[in-house]
Structure 1
Amino acid sequence: MTERLPLFPLNTVLYPGLVMPLVVFEERYRRLVADLLAQPEDQPRRFGVLAIRDGREVAPVRENDRPAGPLDGFGTVTGDPLEAIHRIGCVADVASIREQPGGRYELLVTGTTRFRLESVDAGGAYLVGETETIEEQQGVGAGALASAVEQAFRSYQKRLAGAREATLNGEQELPEDPRVLSYLVAAAAVLPAPVKQELLACPDTAQRLGRELDLLRRENSLLAWHPTLPATDLTRQAFSPN
């Protein structure tokens, strides 16, 4: 299925099922939110989230912009936006919008489905893309891999809690669905943005789980040797099974 979506490039990766708060303060994205608010109430408020490639920022090009190379002095893309953003992203459904003083907005969104960006229209206030939905395939051996990933992830959480001298409040309930588990682990693990993007782009659930199992085993080994490595709190990730 194809769909024309407003695009919201971010320095992070959104996954299906992940609940993400956003604070919108840049003018072009305030325009995006204002346009969403202007839609009829029975029309879904949604946009596409795409991760920005390292060292890039994305902005529409104006006809009267001064000529420049791929990046201007402020790090803003003035050439082809497709060079600055990853092509596989996630649709964000807007759960709530709150307007704040100064024209800012606070959004709460939930990732729903993955998409592939086919083309970009940069002629408006913000980027708009032609997107194609990516249907999730389970792949071979997803069930067995999910069990192994769950075990490795629980060990990972405990090692991180030990590194932070924190205490886990009981054993976290993890989803039984291999697909949902794969996205939860991808969202919760402390990994570089390119690796998180790689996990989003995996062609099926089994390949994502297999990659996560390798990563978790590596991280558990590193934490065993270096128990004081810094890490963020992985026990409070907001996640929806939808």
Structure 2
Amino acid sequence: MTTLHRIPLFPLGSPLLPQAAMPLHLFEPRYRQLIHDLGSLPADQQRFGVIAIRQGREVGTDHLNALYDVGCIADIRAIQPYADGRFDIVTMGTNRFILRDLFDEKPYFTADVEFLPDELGANPDAMSNRVRQHFERYREIVQMEDGQDVLSPDPTALSWEVAAGMLLDLDERQRILAADDTTSRLILERQLLHRELGLLAQIPSLPAFDPRQLPISSN
């Protein structure tokens, strides 16, 4: 029997990935209310779902059809309130979920979601070794300054590190998030890395890229 969980939902223009940090600047009244509501809960329950909008910046009247099916839980790690009611928060991606239903009875959306297991799939170790080699070459070429010299030996953790470290469009990042298991995710990443390495080989030089310096998302 499927177990559904009712969670607050934060639609954004880009998906959140497990193990990835996402800073947010909250100024809209609905998301100020969200932080006030979560602030009354124990620290280990201060979380909400992040899900990507298929097109544009707002859900509009399409509701479920405007959103991708798979999202990620954001655990709140730090909150900085301001006198005018705004908040800066830092979140960390944890569990993936599939969106089952959407509700708008509160100022912000809530949703019924089903948490997704992160299964390994077939032969993840062999695939992770191939992806590791491709990604290390990719980081070398783009001169990535991500502060992470050593990649995780764990295939699942590695798959999320690679996803966070690549420059991908919305659909590609969403496909990685929604992959059925770790091996499927690594296979997709190997394909994307192979494509990117081929393109990079045609470029004489690139400026250093630091994914930690990407702009803070605003609601």
* TM-score of the two chains, using structure 2 as the length reference: 0.89
Partner of 1:11: 13
Tell me the SS of whatever aligns to 2:84. Answer: helix
Alignment partner of 2:118 out of 110, 118, 136: 136
Partner of 1:149: 131
Tell me the SS of whatever aligns to 1:182. Answer: helix
Shift of 1:26: 1.3
The amino acid across from 1:145 in the alignment is M
Provide the identity percentage: 39
Partner of 2:86: 104
Please list every run of 5 or more consecutive structure 2 residues that lacks an aligned counterpart in the other structure.
215-219
Closer/same/farther in 2, CA of residues 26 and 42 from structure 1, 3 Å limit: closer
Distance in structure 1 (CA, Å) of the matches to 2:213 and 2:138: 14
Partner of 1:227: 204
Do 1:157 and 1:235's aligned partners in 2 also have CA atoms closer than 8 Å? no
Tell me the SS of whatever aligns to 2:157. Answer: helix
Alignment partner of 1:2 out of 1, 4, 9: 4
Shift of 1:232: 3.7
Distance in structure 1 (CA, Å) of the matches to 2:200 and 2:84: 44
- Range 14-23 or range 190-199, more displaced: 14-23
Partner of 1:65: none
Tell me the SS of whatever aligns to 1:208. Answer: helix
* Alignment coverage as a number of residue pairs: 212
- Range 214-223 or range 11-20, more displaced: 11-20
Do 2:146 and 2:210's aligned partners in 1 also have CA atoms closer than 8 Å? no
- Could you say which structure has the larger radius of gyration? 1
Shift of 1:234: 4.3
Equivalent residues in 2 for 1:192-231, closer than 5 Å: 192-228=169-205
Deviations 1:103-160 (CA, angstroms, capped at 9, x unpaired): 1111111111000010011122010000100001101121111011111001001111
Partner of 2:45: 44
Do 1:141 and 1:206's aligned partners in 2 also have CA atoms closer than 8 Å? yes
* TM-score of the two chains, using structure 1 as the length reference: 0.81
Please list every run of 5 or more consecutive structure 1 residues that lacks an aligned counterpart in the other structure.
59-76, 238-242
Partner of 1:88: 70
Tell me the SS of whatever aligns to 2:39. Answer: helix
Instruction: Provide the aligned C-alpha RMSD in A.
Output: 2.2
